Structure 1
Amino acid sequence: MDLNSVIGILLAFIAIIGGQILEGGHVGSLLQVAAFLIVMGGTVGAVLLQSPVKIFLNGVKMSAWVFFPPINSPQTLIKQIINWAHISRKEGLLALETHVPVVKDPLTRKGLQLLADGSTPEKLREVLEIDILALEAHQRQSARIWEAAGGYAPTIGILGAVLGLIHVMENLSDPELLGNGIAVAFVATIYGVGLANLIFLPIANKLKSIINEHVVMQEILVDGFVAIASGENPRLIENRLKGYFI
């Protein structure tokens, strides 16, 4: 679990709620079902309108990375690449074919198979980089649903505020209904701005960072495979790949 994400979100909400209490306010005054429904429903609807369902669902699924990010270990990856380099030098590239079935990562499995098939370094890089670009584009498009939500939420919060004020104006003759309308108006704005800046935009930026790290790992893998296909010395391959993390 990513403790930074947990600490960050807890600190943000504790600071806001704590400030409300210190000012003499009540936590219950921030709980408005109507305001939450307007902001969340409107935001989700707007994001769905601009995104295919597949992209939307994948973006929601990817949000779990904020707390449980994929494990990226460059040292382990480099060690594995060097092991394959030694095998190819001792037994030939065809010997790598026996390692293909035990590999789970699709890109790694494809690269090993291309090596075993005797693909040229140029063709190997060309094929694998197409896969990297396609996967990166798909992941970034999915992550953008959170960025879009961060853009829509404040505006929809203002829309909720306007609806609340309309409700107030319609009931000026009934003082008992004024308080609820005013509460919805102000709380809707809080929900819109708060969700955008405390939830949606941070999630979007976190996912972008994780995607960047994943792309670097894939570039290391491709460079390693190309070096093996070129018959380079394993020690030289190791030194070059470590350069990604200097």
Structure 2
Amino acid sequence: MDPATLIGVIGALVFIVVANVMEGGNPMSLMLIPPILLVVGGTIMISIAGGTLADAKLAVRGLKRAFTGSAKNASDLVPVLVSLSEKARREGLLALEDALADVDEPFLSRGLTLAIDGTDPEEVRDILEAEVVAVHAEAKQSAKFFNSAGAYAPTIGIIGTVMGLVHVLENLAQPEELGHLIAGAFVATLWGVMSANVFFLPVGARIGRLGELETGRMELIIEGIAALQAGSNPRVVAQRLQSLLPADQREPEAA
């Protein structure tokens, strides 16, 4: 689990509360149920309206992944793929069948199975790349849901503020209540802007980033399997795979 999102969101809320207290405010004065209900509930409903129910289900999975998921470094796969390449070059592709039990990467296992079965290399690449496209599309759609929510939330907050100001104008005959009512009206705008920039947009960015890292790892596997099927020299395979890694993940000699 990579706690970056959890740390970031909680840390931002802590700073907001501390700043509010330092200015002499009372954090509990911001915890008004009506504006929170309007902003959070209204934003989620409008985001659902902009897509399909299937998109909303993807967003739920994406939300869970944003807070509890992590992306493994693609560099971990390089020694595995090089070792498999050495074995295939020395003993043939069929010899990799015994190594499948030790492979804990489902995508790599599926690719190796296709290669061992004698599937044409181009067809193997097409099948695996289609899965990469599907994973990328799911992450993109899930991130889009939260990015859209981040765009809607401030406007929903303004709607709440306008509603509150209408209520203020209805009570002009009670001047002692105006200060409290006006303050309450602007709480909706606060929650709209805060929810967008502290929650919705960061979650959308996190889902998109995890999707990028996962597809990058899958693309590395595709290149490794292609080299393995071609019978490439393991040293060349290692150099090729290292060149696909971000600079900070490469071996020093490969960098």
TM-score by shorter chain over 0.5 = yes
Look up the equivalent residue of 2:57 and give its one-letter code: L
Look up the equivalent residue of 2:223 and give its one-letter code: D
Distance 2:173 2:199 in 1: 39
Question: What secondary structure sits across from 2:244 in the alignment?
Answer: helix
Aligned to 1:125: 125
Question: What secondary structure sits across from 2:119 in the alignment?
Answer: coil
2:135 corresponds to 1:135: yes
CA-atom RMSD, angstroms? 2.1
Aligned to 2:236: 236
Segment of structure 1 superposing worse, 12-21 or 29-38: 12-21
Percent pairwise identity:
36
Question: What secondary structure sits across from 1:172 in the alignment?
Answer: coil
The 5-angstrom pairing of residues 159-178 of structure 1 reads 159-175=159-175, 178=178
Aligned to 2:76: 76
Question: TM-score, normalized by length of structure 1?
Answer: 0.91
Aligned to 1:200: 200
Aligned to 2:251: none
Note the C-alpha offset of 1:100. 4.4
Distance 1:3 1:244 in 2: 26
Aligned to 1:187: 187
Note the C-alpha offset of 1:66. 3.4
2:148 corresponds to 1:148: yes
Question: TM-score, normalized by length of structure 2?
Answer: 0.88
Structure 2 residue ranges without an equivalent (≥5): 248-255
Distance 1:97 1:145 in 2: 42
Aligned to 1:64: 64
Question: What secondary structure sits across from 1:181 in the alignment?
Answer: helix
Q: How many residues align structurally?
A: 246
Aligned to 1:110: 110
Distance 2:70 2:64 in 1: 10
Note the C-alpha offset of 1:83. 2.2
Note the C-alpha offset of 1:105. 4.4
- Does the 8 A contact of 1:21 with 1:27 survive in 2? yes
Structure 1 residue ranges without an equivalent (≥5): none
Change over 3 Å in CA distance of 1:180–1:104 after alignment to 2: farther
Note the C-alpha offset of 1:195. 0.6
Note the C-alpha offset of 1:13. 1.8
Change over 3 Å in CA distance of 1:182–1:5 after alignment to 2: same
Note the C-alpha offset of 1:93. 1.2
Question: What secondary structure sits across from 1:25 in the alignment?
Answer: coil
